[in-house]
Amino acid sequence: MSMKTNGDMPAMPFEEVRSRFQGLPDKWANHCGLTKREMMAMAAMQGLLAAPDLNTVQPSSVASTAIIYADALLVELERKNE
């Protein structure tokens, strides 16, 4: 079994727990969704797309640059935890 890295962990985990009241959810904590890496890349991409000279940039370049920024942030966060 492979161990997940910090970037592969859910950005906003939640778990559905059914209450005794009509079986409605009353607590959230353990579902996956976007990973931390995906969420960071999404935020970086939003910033990159807000650039005024966007017309000269290829979409694949924006995406790969956003991932580079997300990975750099994850590395820095890991370094702070050591």
pLDDT in tens, 13-59: 666 665 555 655 555 445 567 888 999 999 999 998 887 776 677 88
Beta strands (DSSP E) in 1-82 are: 17-18, 25-27
Torsional class of 23: left (φ above 0), alpha (ψ -120 to 50), beta (otherwise): left
User: Considering the entire predicted model, what is its pTM?
Assistant: 0.65
pLDDT of residue 69: 96
pLDDT of residue 66: 94
Q: How far apart are CA 4 and CA 11, in angstroms?
A: 13
* 8 Å CB contact between 33 and 11: yes
**For residue 45, what are its two tokens?**
């991409």
- Tell me the β-bridge partners of 27: 17
